[in-house]
Chain A
Amino acid sequence: MSDIPGQLRYTKNHEWVRLEVDGSATVGITDHAQELLGDIVFIELPETGKHVAGGTEVAVVESVKAAADVYAPLSGVVTEVNQAAADAPESVNETPYDAWLFRMSPDNAADFGALADAVAYRQMLGD
């Protein structure tokens, strides 16, 4: 059974989202996603400063066997990327909820509330 922390929000594409005190949103991929992918060997991070629409592909996570797109969970501007994760892709397998991929400044803070909570995400997974 996947690890699904209660304080995070989730997308159907298996990203997790954490709302920070400054109003930014931190994004990574879930434990379920990393487990499905297997050993992650390459991460392509988004460009910072770019405005992206919610639901568009902004990053790529590649394991030995497959490539998976990572989608922006919200509309907004990408403000920061986690180069440490790209430098050590296996960290996403090991600690998916620490090895975040990027931060964004949402256009509309209320969008966060529309994302699935842990209970809803677990139901999505059928766990």
Chain B
Amino acid sequence: MIKQTILNTNHHLLHARMVEFCGWEMPLHYGSQIEEHHAVRGDCGMFDISHMCAVDVTGLDARAFLLRLLANNVARLHQPGRALYSCMLNEDGGVLDDLILYYLDDRRYRMVVNACTTDQDLAWMGARLTEWALDVALAPRHDLAMLAVQGPHAREQVWQVLPEVQAATAGLAPFSCAETETLFVARTGYTGEDGFEISLPTARVQAVWQALLGAGVRPCGLGARDTLRLEAGMNLYGQDMDENVSPLDASLAWTVDLSDERDFVGRAALLARPRQCQLLGLVLRTPGVLRAGQGVRTAHGAGVITSGTFSPTMHRAIAFARLPLQVAVGEEVQVAIRDQYSAATVVKPPFVRGGKILINLS
């Protein structure tokens, strides 16, 4: 049985093209995913992200649990309200999921995990909890809906529609969160633009969605979400990494803290198996579109595209590719597109941030 978010009827009312994504019926676009993409880069767009799951991690041992569970170091969170991006690894060092963790207080954290992996994440965390015998409660918040409002004008639009959050969030630093009585607002996102991700009771989300629509915020689907995150250089779980891929091989070494003796799940495997390959960006030099699965020929061996698309901002095809370690930024490689090879340049993502193209091709 396909799952629906509380906003499902709102999407249908807007004539969204709906698709199945990880067991959820979600909007792919509401007419033109390219226009939605441009709205987020230049103005403001909103996404229903209620298919993702917020999980509250609370209890006396919450911090000890997370120190051991996650590859990134929870001790880096010094101030309540700060957020941390991390991978959760298995014992082999493969990525079970990537998530954002919000530090609320020493006994209270909230993580947001991917829709596709929610069930297995909860099972995995529950099993670790039992194994480690810690005083922690895990509570998936199915009572919450989530909206991402993104773009250079996102924050002012949210304040207009939800004046109650302005005081709490006007001074909010990027990658931080604040709570009001019923709302949880984080200055985070998956687009490379400023904005908020808002968790709110399901009973309220339709009214807020309609109010944002009325204020001129453009509804955006999974299609734009994918082109935006790719331009922003952000990995997609299940595509750019999964449980068979080490974070070190997926350009996520910056999220793995090996700097002290902290013993976390997967640490021993990462130390025993250094980097095998690297995830870099490609820009196609010819017309066409890069796609996941296309082979890449380099001077140092073969590679493969893990995510590819047409960049609406750059008007060119861009991709992430898993490449041999010897390949350097600036090198030219060949991508197998149908029956021929096309030239592409190796670049370091992100491609676009804050509305600006960051890749300068000579």
Contact = CB atoms under 8 A, between A and B. Distances in A.
B310 A41 contact: yes
Nearest to A60: B338
Interface in A41-60: 41-42, 44, 60
B227 A64 contact: yes
Nearest to A69: B338
B214 interface: no
Q: Which of A44, A64, A67 has the most CB of B within 10 A?
A: A64
- Among A41, A44, A60, A67, the one with the most B-chain Cβ atoms within 10 Å of its Cβ is A41
B32 interface: yes
Nearest to A35: B17
Contact of A62 (B17, B33, B288): B288
B229 interface: no
Contacts of B34: 39, 41, 64
Interface string B152-195: 00000000000000000000000000000000000000000000
Interface residues of B, number: 17
A112 to B, nearest CB: 29
B298 interface: no
A42 B338 contact: no
A67 B290 CA distance: 10
A10 B33 CA distance: 27
B288 A38 contact: no
Contacts of B17: 38
B238 interface: no
Nearest to A62: B289
Contacts of B5: none
Contact of B28 (A38, A42, A67, A93): A38
Nearest to B35: A39
A38 B309 CA distance: 13
B38 to A, nearest CB: 11
Interface of B: 17, 28-29, 32-34, 223, 227, 287-289, 291, 309-310, 312, 317, 338
Given A42-B288, A62-B289, 5 more contacts: A38-B32, A39-B33, A42-B287, A64-B289, A93-B32
